[in-house]
Amino acid sequence: MSAQLFKQLFGVPKEHELTSGDMIFGITTGENILNYSEKDETGKTIAHYHVVEQRTGYPRESGSITWHRTEVKPKQV
């Protein structure tokens, strides 16, 4: 899936940016692990997303996507 489709899936507002981070592609396992960060209009990171794509069948007959959102708390000064 593209970052734009993940942005829609996560419900990220249009004015926010979704940037990709570390990715692990399990060619033999069919499990891909991806990490994204959501940035607001000012460029401040407000959330992280951990995504697991599990593919079954060949080439891409079926599968599932699970994800978890973790909000970034503002730093206390």
Quick check: helix, strand or coil at residue 8?
Answer: helix
> Which residue type occupies 63?
G
Number of domains in the chain: 1
Q: Which helix (H) or strand (E) holds 3?
A: helix 3-10
N-to-C CA span, the chain: 39
In a domain? residue 67: yes
Host domain of residue 62:
3-71
In a domain? residue 77: no
Q: Could you report the per-residue pLDDT of 11-58, keeping only the tens digit for each?
A: 999 999 999 999 998 888 889 999 999 999 999 999 999 999 988 766
In a domain? residue 36: yes
pTM attached to this predicted model: 0.82
